Amino acid sequence: MTEKILEATTQTEPEHATHKHPAVLRWLKRPPRFHMHFIPTSSSWLNLVERFFADLTNKRLRRGTFRNVPQLVKAIQAYVKHHNDNTEGFHWKATAEEILEKVARVRATLDKINSV
């Protein structure tokens, strides 16, 4: 069944609605421990979540050796604690005016491209 799910998720309609494919919907109903949470694809905060997990993978998990699940959990918890203890706030480097000027330049470039 897992192979069919993977096949269904890779052969979807152009809108990439994998969560709506009949095979996926059937599979999600079978083990009720899974719950789908949908967010807009343009959710910019999701980039930060993805970045965090990429850092966790690259800085702690990749090339790590874990003999069992408790060791893996301990490594993840240690990374999260270290990350939280040594975090810094985000500091904007651009002013609002600079950002708006850049948006205007990009818009002008896109308008030129679309008019050709």
**Could you tell me if 29 and 54 lie in one domain?**
no
Query: pLDDT (tens digit, 9 = 90+) per residue, 29-42?
Result: 776 666 666 666 66
For 1, 18, 29, the CA distances from 32, given in Å and listed in that order, are 16, 18, 6
The pLDDT, as a whole number, for residue 41 is 65
The pair of three-digit structure tokens given for residue 41, joined into one six-digit string: 């694809």
Domain assignment of residue 32, given as a range: 1-38
Query: pLDDT (tens digit, 9 = 90+) per residue, 44-67?
Result: 767 788 888 999 999 999 989 999
Q: How many CA atoms lie within 13 A of 97 on its CB side?
A: 0
Residue 93 lies in a domain: no
The pLDDT, as a whole number, for residue 75 is 95
Tell me how many domains the chain contains: 2
CA dist 62 and 14 (Å) reads 33
Task: Quickly count: other Cβ atoms within 10 Å of residue 60's Cβ.
Answer: 16
**Could you tell me if 24 and 10 lie in one domain?**
yes
**Could you tell me if 30 and 60 lie in one domain?**
no
**Could you tell me if 75 and 48 lie in one domain?**
yes
Q: Which range, of 2-6, 9-13, 14-18, 24-28, averages the lowest pLDDT?
A: 9-13
**Could you tell me if 65 and 34 lie in one domain?**
no
**Could you tell me if 29 and 59 lie in one domain?**
no
**Could you tell me if 50 and 27 lie in one domain?**
no
Residue 104 lies in a domain: no
Residue 17 lies in a domain: yes
The values of phi and psi at residue 30, to 5°, are -70, -60
Task: Quickly count: other Cβ atoms within 10 Å of residue 103's Cβ.
Answer: 10
The pLDDT, as a whole number, for residue 38 is 66
